Amino acid sequence: MSARHPLPAARHPIAARLLGDPAAVAGVIERFGSPIHVVFPQVMAENAAALTAVLDRHEVPHEIFYAHKVNASTRFLAQACAAGLGVDVASAAELDRALAAGFAPDRIEATGPKSPALIERIAALGVTANADDLWELDRLAAVAPRGSSVPVLLRLSGFASPLVPLSRFGIDLADVDAALETVRRARGLELRGVAFHLDTADPTARVDALTESMTVVAAAYGKGLRPSVVDIGGGFRQRFVDDPEPFQRYSQALATAAPEELVWPGYDLAAPTAHKYGNHRPATDVLERFLTAEIERRPVAEVLRECMLTLWLEPGKALVDHAGITLASVLYRKRAAGRDLVVVDLSRNQVTPADQEVLVDPVLVNGTGDRPGEGVFLAGRLCLESDLISRRKVFLESEPRSGDVLAFVNTAAYQMDLSASSAGGHPPPPKVAAFLEGERFTFVPDDIHGS
C-alpha cells in the first residue's frame, strides 16, 4: 500500500455549510438530478466586495468588469449587475446574455477576437471595444456611426520587458502608431485607453507592462486623443488551498514516486497547472501587491492617480473563486487494470477545464465508511478510455459507496462550461443557484438560456 497524498481543497463557509448538510445535498440531487452544478452568487458578491475594498483603500479610481467567459451562469451575471460591476463579454452570445441581465451598453466591454457581426453590434450599441487587432479597429472605424463616440481600448502586446509573458492577443507596440491613427481618423471612435492582460501573479510584470503602456498614452495625447483608462485585465488567481504544504508534498511525491503509484498509466501530470493549485494567496493579495509595488519609489496606486487614469480590471476566476461546486452520484466501485476505481455519474469534460487535471480532491458528502488507505481513480460515464475524471489517485476521507454523492469543490471558474460537451447524449449538467438565507438554502434553477 502506498502512502496517502490527499490534496484537501479549501472550502468557503457557504460551500462547507451545504456539504455539511447531507439532507440538503440529497434534496438538490432529488430535485435537479445528478450531476448538477451549484453556484453561490453570494460568494461572488463577497469576492467583488473584497477586490473593491482593496481598490478603495488605496484610493484608486476603478471599474471592475466581470469576465463572463468564466461561467455561463445567468445568476452570476445578475449578481455582477446588482453589485454595480461592469461585464466583459467575449462573444455575441455573451453580449446578448449581458444585455438580458440588465447591463447598459456603457457597462459592457467586449474583449478577444470579434466577428464582423459582433463588431457591428458593438458599434451600434456603443459597447467598449477592447481591440485585439488593427483589423478589428479598421472594421470598427468603418461601421461606427459618424458623430458617435464608440469607446475603444487598445489591447497592447509585444512588451519589451522579459517579465511580461508572451501573448497571442493584442496589438504589437510596434503597430500602436497605426492603431492610434486609425482611432484619430475615425469619425465615430473615441480612445478610452490602453489595455493588457497578464496571466501571472507577479506584480513586477504588471508594473513593467504598465510602464511601457504609458508610452502609448503619451503618443495618444500627442495625437490629440484623450485616454483616461488603463485596463490591466484579470489573472488575479484563485485560492484552491488553505495550506500549500500538502500540495508541495504531493509535487515531491509525484517527482520521486514511480509514476504508476499516483497516476494512471500513460498520463503525465508534470504540472503546468502547479502554480494554480498550490496557491494559497487570495486574489486580493495579487491586486494589493500590484498596487503597492513601486514605480520610481512610489506605490503604483499613487502613480496611477498621477497618471490620471482610471484602473479597469476584468477578473473572472477571482470573482467566482469558491462560488460553485459540482455534485455527482457515485455509480459503483470496481477494480480494473489492477487499480481501484470509483465510477461517477459525470464526464471528465463537464468538470475539467481544457483537459487540465484538477489537483484538489473531491469530498464525499456524508461519507460514513472507514478512511481508505489507498487512493482511487475517478472514472466517468462515457465509453471512452480517456474519460477518467481523475487521472491521478485521489484520496477520499471515507470509503465511497454506490449512491453516495461526490462533491467537486470550487468549480465555478471555467470548470463547468469551458470544455463541457454533450458526448454520449449526456447534456452538460444543469446549474442551480444556491442562496443561504438565515439557516437555510434556497435553490433557484440557473439554466434558463435566452428567453
Residues that bind other proteins (CB under 8 A): 162-163, 204, 207-208, 211, 214-215, 217-222, 224, 226, 288-289, 292, 295-299, 303, 305-308
- Smallest gap from Cβ 112 to other proteins, in A, equals 27
Minimum CB distance to other proteins smaller for 217 or for 382 = 217
- Smallest gap from Cβ 228 to other proteins, in A, equals 8
- Smallest gap from Cβ 204 to other proteins, in A, equals 4
Amino acid at 384: L
- Smallest gap from Cβ 424 to other proteins, in A, equals 41
Minimum CB distance to other proteins smaller for 308 or for 384 = 308
Residue 5, phi then psi, degrees to nearest 5: -130, 70
**Locate cell 493584442: which residue?**
170
Minimum CB distance to other proteins smaller for 181 or for 306 = 306
Minimum CB distance to other proteins smaller for 125 or for 295 = 295
Whether the CB-CB separation of 402 and 333 falls below 8 Å is answered with: yes
Number of other residues whose CB lies within 10 A of the CB of residue 385: 9
Q: What is the 3-state secondary structure (H, E, C) of 276-303?
A: HHHCCCCHHHHHHHHHHCEECCEEHHHH
- Smallest gap from Cβ 288 to other proteins, in A, equals 7
For the residues of 337-399, what is the DSSP string, one character each?
TTEEEEEESS-GGGTSGGGPPP-S--EEET--SPPPSS-BEEE-SSS-TT-BS-SB-B--SS-
**Which cell is 57 given?**
483603500
- Smallest gap from Cβ 218 to other proteins, in A, equals 2
Minimum CB distance to other proteins smaller for 296 or for 439 = 296
Nearest-5° Cα angle at 137, 134 to 143: 145
Whether the CB-CB separation of 365 and 404 falls below 8 Å is answered with: yes
- Smallest gap from Cβ 61 to other proteins, in A, equals 10
Which of 195, 198, 225, 279 is closest to 7 using CA atoms? 279
**Which cell is 234 given?**
484579470
Minimum CB distance to other proteins smaller for 61 or for 372 = 61
Minimum CB distance to other proteins smaller for 228 or for 366 = 228
Hey, which residues does 298 pair with through a beta bridge? 295
